[in-house]
Amino acid sequence: MNVKNALTVGAQKLKHIDSAQLDAEVLLSFVINKSKEFLYAHPETKLNWIQKIRFFYLINQRSKNWPVAYLTGIKEFYGRTFYVNKNVLIPRPLTEELIEKALAIIKLGYSICDLGTGSGCIIITIIKELQKQNYNLNNFKFYASDISRKALQVAKKNARFHQVNQHIQFLQGDLLKPLPGKKIALIIANLPYLEANDLNEPSIKKEPTLALLGNYDEFFKQASRLIPQPAVIYEDKSGIHLKK
C-alpha cells in the first residue's frame, strides 16, 4: 500500500468525522515521520507492514473519537509543541488569548500561578515569551498547581523539554490550597467550567472529566481571602476575562 492509497482508505474510514481528510493526513505523517507536504509530493511512497498496521490502528482509534492529539501525543500551542496524554486537557486555540492578556499586564518581579496547569502549556509559554523579551526570569516566581498528580507529571515533562523546569515550582492540591503564605500577583486559571450535559459532545468524551466538569465558585471564594488581592485571568464558556 502506498501513501495515496492509505490516505484514501483512512479518510473513508473516518467519513463520519468532519475533519476526516485532515486527521488521516496528520496520522499518516506521524506514522511515517514525514510532513503533510511530503505525502502529496510523493504519493507513490510505499508503507512497510509496521507503518501500515500502526496507521490503521490509529485510524480505528480516531474513528472511536479518540482525539488526534492523544493518538500522536503532541499538540501545538502558541507556536510550540507540547506533549499531551489522556490525563490532561488538550490545549485550545482560545486559551492562547490567556497568554496575550497575561503578557499585557505582567510587571517585573511578579509572582505568577498557573492554576489547574494540566499540560503546563500556559505557564511554560509565558516563561518562554518573557525570555524572548529579555526579562531576567530570576526576578519572577512561577507556580504551577494541579489537583492531579498525573497531570503534573505531564507538565513537568513539558517544562523539561522546553528547558524551563528550573524556574517553576510545581504544587499538587485543590485550587489555592497548595499556596498558603505565598503572595501571588497574578493567577491564571483555566479551570473546569462545563456542566454535565456538555459532556455529551463526542469531541471531548475522551478527555479527563476532572478537567472539564466544574465551575469557578469555590475558586473565587478562596481567591477573595487572599491578601493582597491578585489579578485573575480566567477562561470560561463566554471567553477570556481579566479580574483585578
* 36 Cβ contact list (under 8 Å, min separation 6): 25, 26, 29
Same domain, 147 and 55: no
Same domain, 59 and 102: no
Q: Report pLDDT for 91.
A: 94
With residue 243 as reference, give the H or E element that holds it. Answer: strand 239-243
Whether residues 99 and 217 fall in one domain: yes
Please indicate, yes or no, whether residues 102 and 168 belong to a single structural domain of this protein: yes
CB 155 within 8 A of CB 146: yes
Instruction: Identify the pLDDT of residue 8.
Output: 97
pLDDT at 26: 97
User: Chain-centre distance of CA 168, in angstroms?
Assistant: 17
Query: Do 94 and 170 reside in the same domain of the chain?
Result: yes
Q: What is the pTM of this model?
A: 0.91
Residue 53 shares a structural domain with residue 96:
no
69 in any annotated domain: no
Q: Do residues 181 and 131 both lie within one domain?
A: yes
152 or 226, which is more confident: 152
Residue ranges making up the domain that contains 102:
85-243
- Average pLDDT rounded to a whole number, residues 174-202: 84
Residue 154, phi-psi category: left (phi > 0), alpha (psi -120 to 50), beta (remainder): alpha
Q: Measured at the alpha carbon of residue 188, what is the angle toward residues 129 and 110, in degrees to the nearest 5? A: 60
Same domain? For 125 and 200 the reply is yes
What's the mean pLDDT when you consider all of the chain? 93
Amino acid at 212: L
Q: What is the pLDDT of residue 205?
A: 75
Q: What is the sign, positive or negative, of the torsion defined by CA atoms of 100, 140, 124, 143?
A: negative
- Which residues lie across from 242 on neighbouring strands? 233
> What amino acid is encoded at 143 in this protein?
Y
Q: How many domains does the chain have?
A: 2
Gap between the Cα atoms of 74 and 83, Å rounded: 5
